Amino acid sequence: MLKVIFMIFFLFPLCFMKNLYWMVQSFMFLISFLLILMNMYSNYFMSISYLFGMDMISYGLILLSLWIVALMMMASESVFKYNNYTNLFMFNLILLLVLLVLTFSSMNLFMFYLFFESSLIPTLFLILGWGYQPERLQAGVYLLFYTLLVSLPMLIGIFYLYKMANTMNFYLLNNFMFNYEILYFSLVMAFLVKMPMFLVHLWLPKAHVEAPVSGSMILAGIMLKLGGYGLLRVFPFLQMLGLKFNYIWISISLVGGVLVSLTCLCQTDLKALIAYSSVAHMGIVLAGLMTLTYMGICGSYTLMIAHGLCSSGLFCLANITYERMGSRSLLINKGLLNFMPSMSLWWFLLSSANMAAPPTLNLLGEISLINSIVSWSWLTMLMLSLLSFFSAAYTLYLYAYSQHGKVFSGVYSFSGGKVREYLLLFLHWFPLNLLILKSDMCMLWL
């Protein structure tokens, strides 16, 4: 595990040398391919070194982190082109990557907490430093305070665990069953805000709308998965309490998912629409995870990885049109079918992935989740059917309104799109549709 972390660490000096932007990006792809070659899936921790190790959950998410960060560099070419503090930007991304890899590979609950909170800082810098509008300060403050408010109780909960169990190791904590209500709420709330659960989701659309494309990609791709990952790690020793209280979160998530889907349908900003759709998707992930069934846990893991690739790809598409049109409003981004005909294929492919069409990984995840939630209670069928219907509805709305219609009269040109952009979208879409063939990795790790 240490070799991967060291490889990323040695990218730091490269950030400050002249014109090595694409070199750093190529190295990230190299590291992710080396990680693929280290593929050992097991429900035990493997390749352990010091406090770090990987099991199946970590492996998938570390790979996703590396992949998304490499694609973020590819998407943020404008930072390189206009020399918008390029070196600092690269440094920030690699710092973020190091913190994420450390978060996912910690075997110690306290170390996990430490890196979980630290990964907030580079994200904040991304939004504050490279964001678009002046409101990005408010978005940054929202992001920071939402997360910090709930993470202090979590720290106290972790210390209590250490006092009771005399260990912080995830693997050893699994032998314990705690039956202490405040402990449950203090540990779980931090992850619910990070997911984000409906009612504590307001920081997410704000952060997405103000963030640059790289900020949006990392937020949608990895940051929302930290919450799910944390829950997968703490639920083994909170099962008793989970059986007692989980119905609260499941109900909020399902009802919230439907309400957020309705909110999606009245958005005019491309990014806001994709951001709200993330909240709806993470709502169903949370509900499935909370049922504590085999199907639910595997399905939530699968959909987390699928959503990371899919959502990130949609943000890239929104940014590609933003760079051409200078606006993200659906009122101006109309008739893109005439303006960028080849790009419409990618809009279609990623939109269909967003509404879980076969053969995407999203479909596998959603089917497992729906199975688990319905097996938990039949009454959820109503909300689930509405959720699935609206999921298709707002995705169609996004696709149809942006691609069809009359081109905005201010645009007097036609754009083919760059090869870099097509490669970027291909690298989002290809793993998303290829991983369905390796679905045993997603479903059989438990």
In terms of Cβ atoms closer than 10 Å to its own Cβ (0-12, 13-18, 19+), residue 84 is middle
**pLDDT at residue 444, as a whole number:** 85
Peptide bond connecting 13 to the previous residue in cis, omega within 30 degrees of 0: no
Would the pLDDT of 351 be above 90? yes
pLDDT at 310 over 80: yes
Q: Which domain holds residue 197?
A: 1-443
Q: What are the beta bridge partners of residue 52? A: 49, 106
For 179-205, how does the pLDDT look when each residue is reduced to its tens digit (9 = 90+)? 999 999 999 999 999 999 999 999 999
| Mean pLDDT across 420-439 | 93
Q: How far apart, in whole angstroms, are the C-alpha atoms of residue 162 and residue 155?
A: 11
Which of 86-100, 238-252, 255-269, 398-412 has the least mean pLDDT? 398-412
The domain tally of the chain equals 1
pLDDT tens digits along 368-399: 999 999 999 999 999 999 999 999 999 999 99
Query: Which has the closest alpha carbon to 284: 255, 244, 315, 248?
Result: 255
pLDDT tens for residues 5-31?
Answer: 999 999 999 888 888 889 999 999 999
**pLDDT, position 302:** 96
Indicate yes or no: pTM above 0.85.
Answer: yes
Question: What distance in Å separates the CA atoms of residue 117 and residue 109, rounded to the nearest whole number?
Answer: 12
Contact yes or no for 42/56 (Cβ under 8 A): yes
Q: What is the rounded distance in angstroms from the CA atom of residue 443 to the CA atom of residue 369?
A: 12
